[in-house]
Each structure stands twice: as structure tokens, then as C-alpha cells.
Structure 1
Amino acid sequence: MAERERPRLDVPRAPRRPLLPTYDPEVFGQFSERIARFIGTGRFLLWMTVVIIVWVAWNILAPAGWKFDEYPFIFLTLALSLQASYAAPLILLAQNRQDDRDRVNLEQDRKRNERSIADTEYLTREIAALRMGLGEVATRDWIRSELAELAKELERGEPEPAGAVESDQDR
């Protein structure tokens, strides 16, 4: 009897073949979205109606040897059930993918709104600071009114207020 060769621990095992076929979920999702988009159109409903009318008309009006589905139309019912059993999960998959995209867009919109609010609050604080700073700045009209009052005081000869600083000319 041949002895089984012991696997070496320093050599990785060969990858096993998966039991189920592998697929790319993104490609399958795009495929399901295309099918769901087509099933949701008037063109699909029109073609489905034409196929059913032709099917029923053929199986009622055709000669006995050419008919492939007799009156209760069991085969037609089977075909429509099969179509519905595949369409429903594909439509749900497409809706789930759309929900994921909507969720990502909503999160991006929320972050963008938060940034906009923060920027607006910052600008509001800056404008308030500028207004407060401008409130302390002497304006041209205020300086003119002060100079006009000083000129009137000089004309009347009123004494300078106490604690006024003497200029070099007064000394």
C-alpha cells in the first residue's frame, strides 16, 4: 500500500475549486437593473400582450396537430409564472442597489449641508465682528461733526476742557 504523502507546512495548499459558480456581483447587479428597467416599460407590456394574444389565438384557431397548448393553457401559465419568479427577485435586487445609491447620496448631501451650515455660521461671526469693529471706527460724518463743534467752541472762545494737553505752540 502506498503511503500518503504528508503535506508540508511551509507550502500553501492549492486552492480548492468552489462548489458554486463564482460571479461578479457588480456585473450581475447591472444586469438585473437593465432587466428591471426593461420590465418596467410600456414596450415590455406591449410585447408581452402581443405574445399572449398570439399564443392564445394560435392555440385556439390552429389546426389540431399544430396546437402546442390546449385550452386551460397550462404551458402559458407555466411560462408566465417562470417569468414572474425571475422578474421579482431581479426587480428587488435593482431596488436594493438603488436604495444603496440613494443612501450614499443622502449621506453626501447631509455632509455638504453640515459644511454649508458651518461656513454660514463662520461668515456670520466674521460679519458680526466686522460690524462691531466698524462701530468703533470714526466715520467721515462723525469727524466733520466733531470738527464743526470744535470750530464753534473756538469762535465762542470757550475754555479748553480740564486735562487737555498743551501743544508745543502754547508753551
Structure 2
Amino acid sequence: MADRVPSVAELASELLDRIGEECSPAERDVLQSLASGQHSHVHTGLGAPTTGERLADKVARVGGSWAFIISFTLILLAWMLLNTDVLKHWGLVFDPYPFIFLNLMLSTLAAIQAPIIMMSQNRQSQKDRQDAAVDFETNIRAELAIAQLHRKVDLLLDRADVEPDGRRG
């Protein structure tokens, strides 16, 4: 015997303990897909990343690592050492203290790197939102399956005339 597919309102009442109008749009979408018996297509993916997106991900991965911080610190120290002591003997100092050119380069790097890292973070948050939507749908589906199993067990117990504590009625 085929099970009757419950309506969206019935699912909302049964699974979420509220009426359909109180559900969020995401909850309604999941309940609608459950009522129709089809999986919703929540996880459509982000598609193949563009060259710019791949570059942003690499910049974020490298720029947020200890290897970058340590190597960049060593480069800055070498720059300052060269421009204060080493090149001073030959009169070749190209960026004397207070290192104005170095400050300009650091400001330029920060101005370019920050939005690139933000692009990568935006992509990651979009992935996280999609994963959360898939997890939500999975949880609702699991709740429905458990509720259906409870109904079937209750039906079997009623047919066998057994009380919920296991005693015969």
C-alpha cells in the first residue's frame, strides 16, 4: 500500500510545529520539495571558478599563511638593513630612513590585497550558505522519515494491541 504524500501545511505542522505561513521561505521550499516527493535542487554549486576567482583564492591562501608573514617580515628587515647600513657605505641608498618608498609599496600592497582576499571570502561564504541549505534540507528529510517511522510503529502497536510500554492491552 502506497503512503499518502502529506501536504506542505501538514508537513509544517508535523515537522516544525507551526502553520505553513509561519515558515521561512527556505523552510517552505524544502517542505514543498518534500510534499512533491522530489529533492530540491538547493545545491546547484558555484560552477567552475573564473581565473580571477582562482587567483583570489590563491592570494587569500598565501597571504593568510605563516610562511607569507615570516618571509615578508624578512624582506622588510632586509630592505631596512640595506637602506640604513649596507648601501650607505657606497652612497647607493635608494630609500633612506623613514623609508617612504617602502611605505608606499606596503600601502599599495594592502590596498590591492584586501579586496582580493574579500572576494575569496565572499565565495567561501556563498559555498557555506549552500552547504547550510543542503544540511537543512537533509535534516528536514530525516525528521520526516523519523515521523513516518513513528507513525508506522504506532500503527503496528495498535494492530498488535500493545501498549507503548510493551504490555499487552
* TM-score (norm: length of structure 2): 0.64
- Indicate the SS of the match to 1:108: helix
Equivalent position amino acid for 1:121 in 2: A
Match of 2:59 in 1: 35
Residues in 1 aligned to 2:157 and 2:58: alpha-carbon distance in whole angstroms: 58
Match of 2:101 in 1: 75
1:65-122 CA distances to partner (integer Å, 9 max, x unpaired)? 3211011111100110111011100111011001100000000000001100110100
Match of 1:132 in 2: 158
Q: Provide structure 1 residue ranges, at least 5 long, that are not aligned to the other structure.
A: 1-23, 137-141, 143-171
Residues in 2 aligned to 1:125 and 1:27: alpha-carbon distance in whole angstroms: 52
1:44-64 CA distances to partner (integer Å, 9 max, x unpaired)? 001110110000000001225
For the pair 1:54 / 2:90, whether they are aligned, the reply is no
Q: Provide structure 2 residue ranges, at least 5 long, that are not aligned to the other structure.
A: 1-47, 163-167
Structure 1 residue 30 displacement after superposition = 1.6
Match of 1:109 among 135, 140, 144: 135
The 4+ residue runs of structure 1 with deviation greater than 4 A are none
Equivalent position amino acid for 2:156 in 1: L
- Over the matched positions of the two proteins, sequence identity in percent amounts to 32
Residues in 2 aligned to 1:112 and 1:50: alpha-carbon distance in whole angstroms: 49
Structure 1 residue 130 displacement after superposition = 0.5
For the pair 1:44 / 2:62, whether they are aligned, the reply is no
Match of 1:155 in 2: none
What is the total number of aligned residue pairs between the two structures?
114
Equivalent position amino acid for 2:76 in 1: I
Residues in 1 aligned to 2:115 and 2:126: alpha-carbon distance in whole angstroms: 16
Structure 1 residue 27 displacement after superposition = 2.1
Question: Which has more helix, going by share of residues?
Answer: 2
Match of 2:50 in 1: 26
Residues in 1 aligned to 2:51 and 2:141: alpha-carbon distance in whole angstroms: 35
- Measured on the aligned residues, the alpha-carbon RMSD in Å equals 1.7
Task: Report the structure number with the largest CA radius of gyration.
Answer: 1
Residues in 2 aligned to 1:56 and 1:100: alpha-carbon distance in whole angstroms: 41
Structure 1 residue 26 displacement after superposition = 2.2
Residues in 2 aligned to 1:68 and 1:25: alpha-carbon distance in whole angstroms: 41
Residues in 1 aligned to 2:159 and 2:97: alpha-carbon distance in whole angstroms: 91
Residues in 1 aligned to 2:68 and 2:49: alpha-carbon distance in whole angstroms: 25
